[in-house]
Chain A
Amino acid sequence: MDLGSINPILLLASIMAASTPILLAAIGELVVERAGVLNLGVEGMMITGAICGFAVAVGTGSPATGFVAGAAGGAVLSLLFALLTQVALANHVASGLALTLFGLGLSALLGQGYVGVKPPPTARLDIPVLGDIPVLGPILFSHDLMVYVALALVAVVWAMLKYSRAGLILRAVGENHDAAHALGYKVVRVRVLAIAFGGACAGLGGAYLSLVRVPQWTEGMTAGAGWIALALVVFASWKAGRVLLGAWLFGGVSVLQLNLQAAGVAIPVEYLSMSPYLITIVVLVIMSADKSRAPASLGRIFHASQ
């Protein structure tokens, strides 16, 4: 065992990258849940985004186009969920599970020709002056664009929910859909838009996994990242800022256990690989004391009788 081989600066830098996929998926799901919809299909949308992004990036040679395709793939899949829950008024939990099962099958089918293929590399932004600062430079300022896009997205969602009229309407729909409907807001339209946004974010997160984090395509490669993103939303008490904290925590755990594996700690690899999931459970237990913050209409079916 050689713990000295773990470089703390590189460790912190890789936490930023490791947390990006779940951060993207979780911030999308946060918006969905604030609108009163519980979409358990994050895992399915993520993996569909992963293969759509991967296939298009390989086909066009441009990772940027790949990311757009990943987001589009996730959004299109999420519209199926919207159709089920908002038009056919199906149970949210069952529909979300259906979306995940379907997405896993769909992605495996789409990804058949892509096993073992290398994607085009995503460039790192080497920000001139800031990137040269010792310690902070490599940690904060030497990542690819998507890391900053994810951070910006968190800021935008936070500001939208807190300060904008659109955010207020979204929250109203999530807290009490009957009252929002009575006030003349289009409950279904707001929710469909939120679901599509959540799908696009999850797809983007999936594309980041297959194009940057891993980077290659394997079946079932998200390995529960979508579910961890769902747990993150609970952890964050439906607050955008705390999603960021949670994502760093989970990114930290997964990077640390990978580093420990590489350093040859005397614990079998399998037990180390369990740790992100176990930590998720522990955190859920700690956070679930505070139930009051969940949107009041979360997971309830809305049917305008008039």
Chain B
Amino acid sequence: MRLHLEKRPQPSRRWTDLSPLLAVVITMLAGGALFALLGKNPVEAISTIFWEPLFGEFAFYYRPQLLIKGAPLILIAIGLSLGFRAGVWNIGAEGQYIVGALSGAGVALAFYPLDAWVVFPLMIMAGALGGWAWGMIPALLKLRFGTNEILVSLMLVYVAEQLLAAMALGPMKNPDGMGFPGSRNLQEYPAAHNADLIAASGLHWGVVAATVAVILAYILLGRHVLGYQIRLSGEAPRAARFAGVNPGRLILFCLGASGALAGLAGMFEISGPAGQVSIDFNVGYGFTAIIVAFLGRLHPVGIALAGLLMALTYIGGEIAQGNLGLPAAAIQMFQGMLLFFLLAVDVLTNYRLRLAPRPETA
């Protein structure tokens, strides 16, 4: 007898919902083993990451962080999920995030110190436009020349990082900063500050935008013909072509939308929690959002939950760093493991395990 995979006629509904949960549980176990190897108490480490930020002694401080860290992840992942569903692989969200932040901050710095309500809406538009434009580069190249969007969008991340460094040290440097790198702090410029809407709640405009994005994506995928075309192109590209779906338009839409959302996330981050254009203001949300998108099953509601969970690992990871001396890299690896286990467990969605007699060898 041997184990053997049998293709299901249809993907299993039950496993579609169960596999992310199972992956989280396995990751906790494997992560616990990893932390034990590093000489930490695994139970303490896991509970510090997942329990402390929500229900611990200082939860009043950490809970708002959940929104602050979750909003950009959800915003970016929603955009990515549209493309991933259609088979358009934008993995350069980090670059679009940076360029969106630079565009938004650029508008704010250009208007400084004008105190007018119009500054912030203009920043929002600039952020979305910057990210959109950065996402359009791989889209147009793919459309016109058939260039691989995975590689181009990724290369543009490194270009954007250099652009960020050039801006932080050059044109956007704070003229009153006594030579230190980094721009003016937007938190001290009221017209541009993306402040908490309710004091100390973590609820800033980025959270509002993420919520709207989840709702719009839900309607788009479930109710709108464009969403139908996206799903069709991913699941049955040939059928999509016969149905008259224009693949070029879809590529432009998916990369443009994900770029704009990533740009928005960057703009809300730099005008709020981060505050200023500095060399290392970006912390890899664009890459973590890929994990969020898959963990959320490319479904808007799933992504919202997955984004909050991933935000939890960031916050819990920071606490564990402070309290237990757990290295930051261990958290990064923990997040990577989550995607690994998810992909592995996912086999059960499309296949079922069967015990079969060994085939006769001829």
Interface residues of B in 155-172 (CB under 8 A from A): 155-159, 162-163, 165-166, 169-170
A192 to chain B, nearest CB (A): 16
Q: Evaluate contact between B339 and A101: CB separation under 8 angstroms.
A: yes
Q: List 5 A-B contacts (CB under 8 A).
A: A95-B343, A227-B155, A281-B141, A288-B146, A306-B359
A270: contacting residue among B89, B162, B347, CB under 8 A? B162
Q: Evaluate contact between A98 and B343: CB separation under 8 angstroms.
A: yes
Given contacts A223-B158, A268-B170, A281-B141, contact A101 B335 (CB under 8 A): yes
Q: Evaluate contact between B163 and A270: CB separation under 8 angstroms.
A: yes
Q: Evaluate contact between B5 and A274: CB separation under 8 angstroms.
A: no
B346 at interface (Cβ–Cβ under 8 A)?
A: yes
B340: contacting residue among A102, A109, A112, A234, CB under 8 A? A102
B253 to chain A, nearest CB (A): 20
**Distance of A291 Cα from B158 Cα, bound (Å):** 26
Q: Evaluate contact between A88 and B344: CB separation under 8 angstroms.
A: yes
**Distance of A23 Cα from B295 Cα, bound (Å):** 35
> Which B residues are CB-close (under 8 A) to A102?
333, 336-337, 339-340
B347: contacting residue among A89, A94, A105, A109, CB under 8 A? A89
A36 to chain B, nearest CB (A): 17
> Which A residues are CB-close (under 8 A) to B41?
none
Tell me the nearest residue of chain A to B340, going by C-beta: A98
Q: Evaluate contact between A90 and B146: CB separation under 8 angstroms.
A: no
**Distance of A296 Cα from B359 Cα, bound (Å):** 29
A289 at interface (Cβ–Cβ under 8 A)?
A: yes
Q: Evaluate contact between A280 and B146: CB separation under 8 angstroms.
A: no
A40, A94, A268 — most chain B CB neighbours (10 Å): A94
> Which B residues are CB-close (under 8 A) to A90?
343-344, 346-347
A164 at interface (Cβ–Cβ under 8 A)?
A: no
Interface residues on B, range: 35 or more
Q: Evaluate contact between B329 and A224: CB separation under 8 angstroms.
A: no
Q: Evaluate contact between A285 and B147: CB separation under 8 angstroms.
A: yes
A89, A95, A291 — most chain B CB neighbours (10 Å): A89
Q: Evaluate contact between A303 and B151: CB separation under 8 angstroms.
A: no
Given contacts A83-B344, A88-B344, A104-B332, contact A274 B148 (CB under 8 A): no
> Which B residues are CB-close (under 8 A) to A97?
91, 290, 339
A12 at interface (Cβ–Cβ under 8 A)?
A: no
B350 at interface (Cβ–Cβ under 8 A)?
A: yes
Contacts A98-B340, A101-B290, A104-B336 aside, 10 further interface pairs with beta carbons under 8 A come to A101-B287, A102-B340, A105-B332, A112-B327, A219-B329, A281-B151, A284-B151, A285-B141, A289-B146, A303-B351
**Distance of A144 Cα from B159 Cα, bound (Å):** 31
Tell me the nearest residue of chain B to A227, going by C-beta: B154
**Distance of A80 Cα from B343 Cα, bound (Å):** 11
> Which B residues are CB-close (under 8 A) to A285?
141, 145, 147
> Which B residues are CB-close (under 8 A) to A106?
329, 333, 336
* B85-127 near A? 1/0 per residue, CB < 8 Å: 0000101000000000000000000000000000000000000
B329: contacting residue among A112, A234, A281, CB under 8 A? A112
Tell me the nearest residue of chain A to B362, going by C-beta: A184
Q: Evaluate contact between B329 and A105: CB separation under 8 angstroms.
A: yes
* A55-97 near B? 1/0 per residue, CB < 8 Å: 0000000000000000000000000100110001111011101
Tell me the nearest residue of chain A to B142, going by C-beta: A288
